[in-house]
Chains A and B, each alone.
Chain A
Amino acid sequence: SSELTQDPAVSVALGQTVRITCQGDSLRRYYASWYQQKPGQAPVLVFSGQNNRPSGIPDRFSGSSSGNTASLIITGAQAEDEADYYCNCRDSSGNHVVVFGGGTKLTVL
């Protein structure tokens, strides 16, 4: 099965822009989705596909993709954005098997 690789930890200064990346062969074929998870809470979808931001998600969250790398971009990070972020996408097998990245802990300084 495919794998998605994320940096374990990233930090950003308050108000600055941060890019969280996700790498994997499946991303050459399928779009990624991104989830925010705060301690003790269920994950929340914050961005998916080419340009889909769910209702209620601030527009400072955006995404991009190139080759085998997908990125979640937070423009003007806020203190409340401190959380774990996970990417996922369909497995390269073509079946509806899904793979998650290992997660990135975002610290807002």
Chain B
Amino acid sequence: EVQLVESGGGLAQPGTSLRLSCAASGFDFNVYNMNWVRQAPGKGLEWVSYIASGSKTIYYADSVKGRFTVSRDNGQKSLFLQINSLRVEDTAVYYCARDSAVLSSAFDYWGRGTLVTVSS
């Protein structure tokens, strides 16, 4: 069974940093491209970042470029998102999502998400 489990969220002050993790199981993590998607309270989905299976290709949404860094450890079957210089507007549930093998940008499995709250 494919599982994605996020962790690392919590309450943080503006200007500080957080590192989110996503533990994958039930599939060959090292052959799948992965994404982070976030959802602010009561709002829609916002794609945040993409990392290819071998980490050679990485993309970010303009809204997070320069502050967010995505990485992965295929040996540990884990995906990471380093968030620096946190802003109030970064408050959201952060989901990791797997790229489908059928269609890139179709996210066929999602984790339950981890909530990041940025507040002073």
**Interfacial residues, chain A to chain B (CB-CB below 8 A):** 1, 30-31, 33, 35, 37, 42-45, 48-49, 52, 54, 84, 86, 88-90, 95-103
Contact = CB atoms under 8 A, between A and B. Distances in A.
Contacts of B57: 96
A86 B97 CA distance: 15
A43 B95 CA distance: 9
Nearest to A100: B45
Given A96-B105, A97-B47, 6 more contacts: A33-B105, A42-B113, A45-B106, A96-B50, A96-B59, A99-B47
- Size class of the contact patch on chain B: 20 to 34
A103 B46 CA distance: 11
A42 B50 contact: no
B103 A33 contact: yes
B1 to A, nearest CB: 12
A103 B104 CA distance: 20
Interface string B64-85: 0000000000000000000000
A71 to B, nearest CB: 16
Interface of B: 33, 35, 37, 44-47, 50, 52, 57, 59, 61-62, 95, 97, 100, 102-108, 110-113
Contacts of B106: 33, 45, 48-49, 52
Contact of A45 (B50, B52, B100, B113): B100
B108 A45 contact: yes
Contacts of B108: 45, 48, 54
Given A42-B113, A48-B103, A90-B104, A97 B45 contact: no
Given A42-B95, A103-B44, A97 B103 contact: no
Nearest to A90: B105
Contacts of A43: 37, 45, 95, 97, 107, 110
Contacts of A102: 44
B51 to A, nearest CB: 9
Contacts of B103: 31, 33, 48-49, 52
Contacts of B107: 33, 35, 43, 45, 88
